[in-house]
Structure 1
Amino acid sequence: MALLELSDVSVHYGRIQALCGITLTVEQGEVVTLIGANGAGKTTTMRAISGIRPLSGGRIRFQGDDITRLRADLRVVRGISQAPEGRGVFPGMTVQENLEMGAYARRDKKSVPEDFDRVFALFPRLAERRSQVGGTLSGGEQQMLAIGRALMARPRLLLLDEPSMGLAPQFIQQIFRIVTEINEQGTTVLLVEQNARQALTRAHRAYVLETGRIVKSGTGAELLADTSIKEAYLGVA
């Protein structure tokens, strides 16, 4: 049984169909990545999984249960947590307070301090800035905070939407190393990423989206070696 299963999922924005019958799976323990051009439907897929965007057709199952109509906050309780595109940190709240917000739905409050320790071990820079307000952090630090906040929910599935967007090269390398480390610690990751080379290098499996449809899938290594993928997404003719 897959941890996450999307079956023939469609999403509309008014009359515009953003997803056209998407079917994909994420197995426990994997890093799975979605790649595609801007407007391909990657972020819409993430919003559908997290419950922010309702489906116009199809079904989503998580741990074997149908969550198609489950509210977004209850999906967090079930174990789906997202670091959204654009980071979405609370600018007037401190690093500590932002992280506390990530744990708002936790029922096991006694173990929350363990997760602070985990986040600060992954992101020592956040530990140094725990009293600093989120709006004054650099872009890379805000991305670390967004991922750390999502981890505070202790998710079974972590959704990462464009974690390297707008970051300096040294931060990009660091973020991807941490994604691998998070996965090695036991968290399943679904990654949407424009940096296709980095994403495919880290992914166990990958799907290619074009205009709301999955046009190709395979292991990360298979897609890295695929000539059409190289030409379209890796800048190699």
Structure 2
Amino acid sequence: MLLELDDITLRYGRIEALHGLSIHVEEGEIVALIGANGAGKTTTMRAISGLNPLASGKIRFAGKDITTMRADLRVPLGICQSPEGRGVFPGMTVLENLDMGAYTRKDRAGVAADLKRVFELFPRLEERQKQISGTMSGGEQQMLAVGRALMARPKLLLLDEPSMGLAPMIIQQIFDIIVEINQQGTTVLLVEQNAQQALARAHRGYVLETGRIVKEGTGQDLLHDPAVKEAYLGVA
């Protein structure tokens, strides 16, 4: 098992945001975590990345207990996140942003190979590698955020709302690239409000409501679950 969250609880002050949440991700999977705004999806991602400490529970990665490990030490282990809202460095060029993704690495030949891979996945980034990232469109910035995360050569890629604010055609393209990244050997944990697109591509999924897992199953099972369809897919 690559990632295991075991009965984790997380609080913001007196507010309990996650209540005894347990999920797991096997190596090679795409796992989708879906839910409404405020369900705790981003909080779960921040817990995995080490940005928010747990009140209780355990997080294990590749068999290692990382519950109290600092966030910056989790990146070399193989956990890397493309954050909600993209979070590119707006005053830097595309290439400088991608270089920042590889800041923990010393293997220059490997970094060069991964840069080539990112440009193959996102030809637009190669075309615009000297452009200041803050002047790019939302879709291009999303490609850059995912590409930057890939430059860390993650074992587990955390994607937080990659389709947010994008045009339908770009959303389709982003999800197709997520599948390609997975097929190339990277495990993906995907947080998405676009449940239709996420579940259609996920091997497994979890439904999160107010900090608790209320359903889990294969992507296809959840996609065709009447309660999930009514609540998240707009189908009665």
Q: TM exceeds 0.5?
A: yes
Per-residue deviation at 1:108? 2.0
Amino acid at match of 1:168: A
- How far apart are residue 106 of structure 1 and its match? 1.2
Give 1:105-120 correspondences, 5 Å limit. 105-120=104-119
Q: Secondary structure at the match of 2:125?
A: helix
**Identity between Structure 1 and Structure 2 (%):** 73
Question: Which residue number corresponds to residue 161 of structure 2?
Answer: 162
Report SS of the residue matched to 2:228.
helix
What is residue 15 of structure 1 aligned with on the other side?
Answer: 14
Displacement of 1:188 in angstroms is 0.1
Q: 5+ unaligned residues in a row in structure 1: which ranges? A: none
Indicate the residue corresponding to 1:125 in structure 2: 124
Using the alignment, how far apart are the partners of 1:138 and 1:93 within structure 2? Answer: 15
Q: What secondary structure does 1:48 align onto?
A: helix
- Letter paired with 2:88: V
Counting only pairs closer than 5 Å after superposition, residues 148-227 of structure 1 correspond to structure 2 as 148-227=147-226
Equivalent position of 1:52 in the other structure: 51
Q: In structure 2, how many angstroms separate the alpha carbons of the residues matched to 1:109 and 1:48?
A: 30
Task: Normalising by structure 1, report the TM-score.
Answer: 0.99
* Structure 1 residue ranges (4+ consecutive) displaced by more than 6 angstroms after TM superposition: none
Measured after TM superposition, the shift of residue 171 of structure 1 is 0.6
- Equivalence for 2:92: 93
Specify the alignment match of 1:40 in structure 2.
Answer: 39
Deviations 1:98-142 (A, max 9, x none): 000000011323310000000000000000000001100000000
Letter of the 1:56 counterpart: A
| Alignment root-mean-square deviation, CA | 0.5
Q: CA deviation at 1:80?
A: 0.2
Aligned equivalents of 2:193, 2:45: Cα separation in 1: 14
Any idea what the Cα deviations from partners look like across 1:17-59, whole Å, max 9, x if unmatched?
Answer: 0000110100000000000000000000000000111111100
Distance of 1:213 and 1:90 partners within structure 2: 33
| Distance in 2, Cα, partners of 1:118 & 1:19 | 36
* 1:176, distance to aligned residue in structure 2 (A): 0.2
* Unaligned stretches of 5+ residues in structure 2: none
Give me the whole-angstrom Cα distance separating, in 2, the residues matched to 1:95 and 1:224.
36
What are the within-5 Å matches in structure 2 for residues 18-29 of structure 1? Answer: 18-29=17-28
Q: Whole-Å Cα distance in 2 between the matches of residues 225 and 194 of structure 1?
A: 16
Provide the C-alpha distance between the structure 2 equivalents of 1:170 and 1:94, rounded to a whole number of angstroms: 25
Looking at structure 1, the residues matched to 13 and 97 of structure 2 have their Cα atoms a distance apart, in angstroms, of 34
Q: What CA distance in whole angstroms lies between the structure 1 residues aligned with 2:204 and 2:106?
A: 33
TM-score for both structures, normalised by structure 2: 0.99
Return the letter of the residue paired with 1:212: G
Aligned residue pairs: how many?
236
Amino acid at match of 1:12: R
Question: How far apart are the structure 1 equivalents of 2:89 and 2:72?
Answer: 18
Which digits, 9 at most, give the CA deviation of each residue in 1:47-91, with x for residues without a partner? 000011111110000000000011111100100000000000000
Hey, what does 1:3 align to over in structure 2? 2
Corresponding letter in the other structure for 2:184: Q
Give the partner amino acid of 2:180: E
Equivalence for 1:65:
64
* C-alpha distance in structure 2 between counterparts of 1:132 and 1:57, whole Å: 44
